[in-house]
Amino acid sequence: MDPQSTIILGKAIGAGLAMIGAAGGGIGIGLAVGGAVQAMGRNPDHTPTIQTNMILGVAFAEAVAIYALVVSLIILFVLS
Amino acid sequence: MNSFWNGKRRFVALLMFLGGVFVALRVPPVIPFIQLPGEKFPAGYDIPFLDIRLTNTFVGSVIVWIVLLLFVVYVTRRRPKDGNEVPPGGFYNMFEMLFEGLMGFVGGIAGGRHFRLIFNMFMTIFLVVLLANWMELVPGVDTIGFIHPHVKEKYDVEKDEYKVVTTDGYEIYQGFLGISYVNGQCDWISPADEAAADEAALTAAAAAAKAVEMDLSQDAAYARYQAEHDDHGEGEATGDAHGDDTHAGEAVESDEAAAAYDEVLAARLAEKQARRDRSCYTGVAPAPWETGGDDHEDEGEHADEKHDILLHPDPRSEEAKHVPWVVLPFVRVPSTDLNMTLSIALIAFVMIQYIGFKALGIGYLTKFFNFSTLFKSPLGGIDVAVGLLELIGDFAKILSFSFRLLGNIFAGSILLFGMSFLVPILPWPFFILEFFVGVIQALVFALLTAIFMNLATVSHHHDDEHDHAEAH
Q: What is the ipTM of this complex?
A: 0.77
Q: Which of B35, B105, B407 sits opposite A70 (nearest CB)?
A: B407
User: B398 burial class (0-12, 13-18, 19+ CB within 10 angstroms)?
Assistant: middle
Report the domain count for chain B: 3
Same domain, B321 and B339: no
Distances (CA, A) of B37 to B117, B278, B304: 33, 22, 33
How far apart, in whole angstroms, are the C-alpha atoms of residue B180 and residue B186? Answer: 7
SS3 B149: strand
For residue A71, the distance in angstroms to the closest alpha carbon of chain B comes to 10
Enclosing domain of residue B393 = 335-471
The residue among B301, B325, B349 that closes a domain is: B325
Q: Is residue B231 part of a domain?
A: yes
Among all residues of chain A, which has the CA nearest to that of B168? A78
User: b vs e for B309-346, b when ≥16 Cβ sit within 10 Å of the residue's Cβ?
Assistant: bbbbbebeeeebeebbbbbbbbbbbbbbbbbbbbebbe
Interface test with B, best of A58, A66, A78 (most B CBs within 10 A): A66
Q: Which of B36, B153, B447 sits opposite A78 (nearest CB)?
A: B36
Interface test with B, best of A33, A49, A80 (most B CBs within 10 A): A80
A5 contacts chain B (CB < 8 A): no
Q: Is B404 left (phi over 0), alpha (psi -120 to 50) or beta?
A: alpha
Q: What is the mean pLDDT of residues A13-32?
A: 92
What pLDDT was estimated at residue B350?
Answer: 95
- pLDDT exceeds 60 at position A58: yes
Ranges of each domain in chain A = 3-78
Same domain, B317 and B339: no
A78 contacts chain B (CB < 8 A): yes
Q: Which of B58, B257, B35, B235 is nearest to A79 (CA)?
A: B35
CA end-to-end distance (rounded Å), chain A:
18
- DSSP-assigned beta bridge partners for residue B327: B147
Contact assignment for B444 to A55 by CB distance below 8 Å? yes
- pLDDT exceeds 80 at position A34: yes
CB contacts < 8 A (A, B): 51
How far apart, in whole angstroms, are the C-alpha atoms of residue B193 and residue B271? Answer: 14
Interface test with A, best of B408, B439, B443 (most A CBs within 10 A): B408
Q: Which of B330, B326, B277, B327 is nearest to B44 (CA)?
A: B277
For residue A48, the distance in angstroms to the closest alpha carbon of chain B comes to 8
How far apart, in whole angstroms, are the C-alpha atoms of residue B440 and residue A74? Answer: 24
For residue B168, the distance in angstroms to the closest alpha carbon of chain A comes to 6
Successive 10-residue mean pLDDT values, chain B, 472 residues:
73 86 73 78 72 84 93 83 68 86 88 88 94 90 75 43 34 32 37 72 83 77 72 47 44 68 80 58 44 43 38 45 69 91 94 92 85 76 85 88 90 84 76 90 92 85 47 44
How far apart, in whole angstroms, are the C-alpha atoms of residue A70 and residue B407? Answer: 6
Same domain, B201 and B310: yes
CA end-to-end distance (rounded Å), chain B:
56
Distances (CA, A) of B60 to B36, B64, B330, B334, B348: 15, 6, 8, 5, 21
Q: Is residue B265 part of a domain?
A: yes
Which of the following CATH numbers is that of domain A3-78: 1.20.20.10, 2.60.120.560, 3.10.129.10, 3.90.180.10?
Answer: 1.20.20.10
For residue A69, the distance in angstroms to the closest alpha carbon of chain B comes to 7
Distances (CA, A) of B121 to A33, B3, B447, B453: 28, 44, 10, 9
Q: What is the mean pLDDT of residues A61-65?
A: 83
Among all residues of chain B, which has the CA nearest to that of A49? B108
How far apart, in whole angstroms, are the C-alpha atoms of residue B353 and residue B361? Answer: 11
**In this structure, which amino acid lies at residue B259?**
A
Same domain, B221 and B200: yes
Q: Is residue B236 part of a domain?
A: yes
SS3 B146: strand
Q: Is residue B374 part of a domain?
A: yes
Q: Which of B403, B440, B447 sits opposite A67 (nearest CB)?
A: B403
Distances (CA, A) of B436 to B57, B126, B130, B430: 21, 14, 10, 10
Same domain, B47 and B170: yes
Contact assignment for B34 to A63 by CB distance below 8 Å? no
* Chain A residues 17-76 within an 8 A CB cutoff of chain B: 48-49, 52, 55-56, 59, 62-63, 66-67, 69-70, 73-74, 76
Helices and strands in chain B: count of H runs, count of E runs: 13, 2
SS3 B326: strand
What pLDDT was estimated at residue B187?
Answer: 43
How far apart, in whole angstroms, are the C-alpha atoms of residue B271 and residue B275? Answer: 6
Contact assignment for A55 to B400 by CB distance below 8 Å? no
Neighbours of A33 (CB within 10 A): 15
The residue among B262, B295, B325 that closes a domain is: B325
Contact assignment for A49 to B403 by CB distance below 8 Å? no
Backbone angles phi and psi of B30, in degrees to 5: -110, 155
Contact assignment for A63 to B400 by CB distance below 8 Å? yes
Contact assignment for A70 to B167 by CB distance below 8 Å? no
Same domain, B158 and B33: yes
Same domain, B37 and B169: yes
SS3 B205: helix
Q: Is residue B19 part of a domain?
A: no
Q: Is residue B214 part of a domain?
A: yes
Contact assignment for A52 to B443 by CB distance below 8 Å? no
Rounded to 10 degrees, what is the CA torsion of B103, B105, B108, B114? Answer: -40
Q: Is residue B55 part of a domain?
A: yes
Which residues on chain A are in Cβ contact (under 8 Å) with B167? 80
The residue among B325, B345, B368 that closes a domain is: B325
Q: Which of B36, B407, B447 sits opposite A56 (nearest CB)?
A: B447
How far apart, in whole angstroms, are the C-alpha atoms of residue B410 and residue B341? Answer: 11
**Which residues have a Cβ under 8 Å from the Cβ of B237 and sit 6 or more positions away?**
none
